[in-house]
Amino acid sequence: MITFLNHLINGISLGSIYAIIALGYTMVYGIAKMLNFAHGDVIMVGAYVCFFAVSSFGLHPVLGLVLAILICTLLGIVIEKLAYKPLRQATSLAVLITAIGVSYFLQNAAQLLWTSNPKMFPDLFGGAAIRLFDGRLTITVGTLVTIAACIIIMVVLTLFTGKTRMGKAMRACSEDKGAAQLMGINVNRTISVTFAIGSALAAIAGVLLCSAYPSLVPTTGSMPGIKAFTAAVFGGIGSIPGALIGGVLLGIIEIFAGAYISTQLSNAIVFLVLIVVLLVRPTGLLGKQIREKV
């Protein structure tokens, strides 16, 4: 029972990281109707910024995280302006190829700047942990912070999109960009803000990810990015609650598959579950079926 609880907590923690990343995917897709496959590499950039801020410049981890958020937010805006804005009216295939190109550019730029040698991410929480059941169940502070961060981000984003002027503009652009523009909404600025928010979330996820799995390389964000995209599709891409549910479920499935079936097959099992879900419910768990008139 204790082992089961330990795996469950680890799965929720990992799933919370996937959920934070998936929120970036789902917001960009919901508003700009494009898949930003460079999102995973923004995670890597945020982790490197925090790593050097803490280990090389001696900044407090909180300041390192803030610096990572600022730089990744700026990076997201630059990527949107230079790579995606000129392709507003282009085909989805052209946008997809561009996103893959941006992803490879960021990976190779990181390799040139910081080499491909793994760097050990510092323990931002000092190894602090809570021990229950006479020490048989250990919950690290990093795990609690990760889960709490995911819940807080989810609540703040829900309130932001439902209560603020910019949030309502995002929802309007998600429904119909042409109609939103006719109503006086600056669509380009709204999309830029969406990229900025998604990139800020990527920075937070990158720091939390490397705190739990300390090896940092230029490809650190690739697989978590793919899994987070899978989580967004799993929960219903375009849905903020769907990204949370999909991420947490994916993390739990991955941890339990590695613990009880095979660590080598855990990734395959995750994607197999996705295929099964999409066969049963193509729009994802919380996705809505959209009918188009012809």
Write the pLDDT tens digit of every residue in 58-68: 888 999 999 99
pLDDT at 123 over 90: no
What pLDDT was estimated at residue 290?
55
pTM, whole model, 2 decimals? 0.91
Given a contact cutoff of 8 angstroms between Cβ atoms, the answer to whether 61 and 76 are in contact is: no
- The reported pLDDT for the residue numbered 16 is 94
Residue 252, both tokens? 């739990």
Asked if residue 281 has pLDDT above 90, the reply is no
With a pLDDT cut of 70, the percent of the chain lying above it is 97
- E-assigned strand segments in 52-142: 119-120, 129-132, 137-140
- Return the beta strands (E) in 114-253 as ranges: 119-120, 129-132, 137-140, 215-216
The answer, yes or no, to whether residue 147 has pLDDT greater than 50, is yes
Give the pLDDT mean for 19-40. 86
pLDDT at 288: 62
CB neighbour list of residue 224: distance below 8 Å, 6 or more residues apart: 17, 18, 21, 40, 43, 205, 209
What does the pLDDT look like over 148-198, one tens digit per residue? 999 999 999 989 988 899 988 988 888 888 888 888 888 889 999 999 999
Residue of 123 and 254 predicted with greater confidence: 254
% pLDDT > 90, the chain: 41
Average pLDDT, the chain: 88
Give the pLDDT band (50/70/90) at residue 294: very low
pLDDT at 69: 95
Residue 201, pLDDT above cutoff 60? yes
**Which residue ranges make up each domain of the chain?**
15-225
CA 175 – CA 190 distance, rounded (Å)? 13
- Written as six digits, the tokens of 124 are 């931002």
Residue whose structure tokens are 């006479």: 134
